[in-house]
Structure 1
């Protein structure tokens, strides 16, 4: 190994470790989460009053880091990277992009409960009105189409087959056994938590399950691959890097790739169900409504009118208004990442296959990365700077099956689906669904999607 390569590897490691140190106290979701009592109060008042969340509420929650000092540290690291690696170094550019993201995050959290919070959220996570990469449809249009599909009577009927009868302690035992077996060379943790609002959350190598929640077998299947294989897996893969250890932590620029990959794993393993898929899709509609100026009650009632339960309607709405303004005008757009990232991951895999570069596909699990980083990271892998992913799901370890699956998908991608649907709709017209509701009566939706 040449002296220059050794110095370069040492610089990458030094800058990576420093970024990890600086960003460690920044906890975005902890800084904007609402107490569970807010939900109880809102539902008890039958949604007639806005949640009692104001700018004063956020000011009463101190940030877990010194904003001024952290900004100074990030600027110092940025200067050091530019001096040490040069502004044109490809891995250096990825490091710099992450540093810049954390600086915007600090500004966003400084503006909790203010209009600027929503603007900075859009800068970090995007907007529901943005178009998908290489496509003419917006994220909202795709979200609407998916929400429609997953709210059809047949989908609701299938979702009812997944009763939540598993207690939180039982769920911890089951999930822990599965993940310990998967992450055979690392110590991982599954534990109960009273400090999370959602039913499940991940922090580093730990999966947390809400003490108050009940779970279905389908939930545990989802958590195994979504929280486990993807979120914990990419953390551990990043930590295992000999030099680019920054891949173990993720700024908002990696959120779509991460969440989209996690949703894709739910689909590839057949772990998800229509109810779960609808919740993910509905989040896009909630973001778009908030971006258009709707207040908390308007978004909540929109979902209640779509026959979503009061609890589910509250939670999809709350996710979008945390950190923002319940009266409208500020919002948290992270929740478009699931649908947007799902499409981007699929298109990346299809494109890698179509262009004869399937070896890029396992790189999705290399660590916390944005899809556009992969060509640079793969080149660094070829040069011995980046190590291959330590943990890969079976279908990514041997991508033969993925190649066949997505090869077929790419090959039939140009078929006129509308014409195919009309053909089969004519054949299906005399079939009465189990729910006795005509599944094909809403043709207006497809026209709107175009």
Structure 2
């Protein structure tokens, strides 16, 4: 057997071991809140702290022994260095993922305690963090986006879409659409009673909340966000002959995954201003909680920013799950959306500017970070890594994407303040009535009322 064959067999074996060891670790399942807490909070006049303390989290047993699991990861790290070498590039990626899972187990051991927030910041970051190569913090970027998506024009074009589909009907429609993108049978859309959001992807499955109803717009978003990105990258990772660990994601890949999903919503014109604003509000909520705001204070902070009560509760719950409802120790994963969106866009623009657009499809290779791409691209050239099978059309033929980002780069040089000042004078006499083709009064025979 050649040295290359030995190396590839070792890489495959170690990758498979990684997948097996991390399998029982389910972060969100370990910090979920019961649905009845929502009603209890509103029954209290929105003034009582949810009962999410360390004792409550102890009542949610982990499906593994944290100390035993950490030792398994440490043993795997030693095996990686021994079999692949301390300086092997792919081995370093595998080791970084191993280190992350060790931190994850520490974070879950600290559920409901101060250290939970410390480990969350180490894994997902803080609202005070800065973007790669940028002087602005995530909070500053989030506030800028919130301002954009809160402008009068965003409300002006908004119109209600009827929630025509119950969960069962939505499951059937989404399954049919995604069967056109994936090989039939590779992805399952199912009903679930155990998720907080309306829908969530896990592995090769999209779960739909059995209590939710869905609009056509909701289904378009789920198709590209959960389907094309989250499930698509999982299945692409599973098709790797040797680097099979690319099918599972530690926290290090969260920002790129969520940012890419948000970018796909944007490129397919599936998103809408209120949804886009929601991700920036999460940054503000995390910042307020990191600064010591408790659950009630952060909830009312979001209400004051204009969020409806239900959305304010959901966002606040996402921030405080696993941490301390008294504040300071919180779950910072939701920074991933804004951070990942900006960094994915910056990566694409930089790859085009550097004359390396061929790197862009690597975003869909599996569960990766941007820093992984140079190493994985070299492994692709060496025949170790397979290119992504499931790839949205605009990433398969990069001409349109190149033009889109090319114009974006060019227009960024325009002084928009001066331009807007010019057009405001032109628009002064226009009555602000939204055209019918933009805000139809009827869809599918149903009368629509504009959003308040």
Fold agreement, TM-score > 0.5: yes
Q: Choose 377-386 or 179-188, whichever is displaced more.
A: 179-188
Aligned to 2:174: 175
Cα deviation for residue 137 of structure 1 reads 1.2
The 5-angstrom pairing of residues 39-438 of structure 1 reads 39-184=38-183, 186-434=185-433
SS of aligned partner of 1:182: coil
CA distance in 1, matches of 2:366, 2:324: 33
CA distance in 1, matches of 2:386, 2:127: 35
CA distance in 2, matches of 1:279, 1:397: 30
CA distance in 1, matches of 2:411, 2:259: 22
Cα deviation for residue 151 of structure 1 reads 2.3
Cα deviation for residue 307 of structure 1 reads 2.5
CA distance in 2, matches of 1:409, 1:117: 40
On the 8 A contact 1:158/1:274 being kept in 2, the answer is: no
CA distance in 1, matches of 2:158, 2:170: 19
CA distance in 2, matches of 1:425, 1:291: 40
How many pairs does the alignment contain? Answer: 434
On the 8 A contact 1:54/1:326 being kept in 2, the answer is: yes
- For structure 2, the residue ranges without an aligned partner over 5 or more in a row are 435-452
Aligned to 1:439: none
CA distance in 1, matches of 2:193, 2:24: 20
Q: Choose 105-114 or 141-150, whichever is displaced more.
A: 141-150
SS of aligned partner of 2:200: strand
Q: RMSD of the alignment, in Å? A: 1.4
Compute the TM-score of the two structures, normalised by the length of structure 2.
0.93
Compute the TM-score of the two structures, normalised by the length of structure 1.
0.94
Cα deviation for residue 160 of structure 1 reads 3.2
- For structure 1, the residue ranges without an aligned partner over 5 or more in a row are 436-450
Q: Choose 129-138 or 156-165, whichever is displaced more.
A: 156-165
Deviations 1:220-245 (A, max 9, x none): 00000000000000000000001000
Cα deviation for residue 432 of structure 1 reads 4.6
CA distance in 2, matches of 1:421, 1:259: 32
Aligned to 1:446: none
SS of aligned partner of 2:420: helix
Deviations 1:257-312 (A, max 9, x none): 00000000000000111121111121111111111111111111111122211110
CA distance in 2, matches of 1:416, 1:158: 25
SS of aligned partner of 1:43: helix
Cα deviation for residue 421 of structure 1 reads 3.4
Aligned to 1:440: none
CA distance in 2, matches of 1:433, 1:102: 53
Q: Alpha carbons of 1:69 and 1:392: their partners in 2 closer, same or farther (altered >3 Å)?
A: same
Matched, 1:12 2:47: no
Cα deviation for residue 414 of structure 1 reads 3.0
Cα deviation for residue 344 of structure 1 reads 0.5
The 5-angstrom pairing of residues 16-31 of structure 1 reads 16-31=15-30
Cα deviation for residue 39 of structure 1 reads 0.8
CA distance in 1, matches of 2:381, 2:255: 26
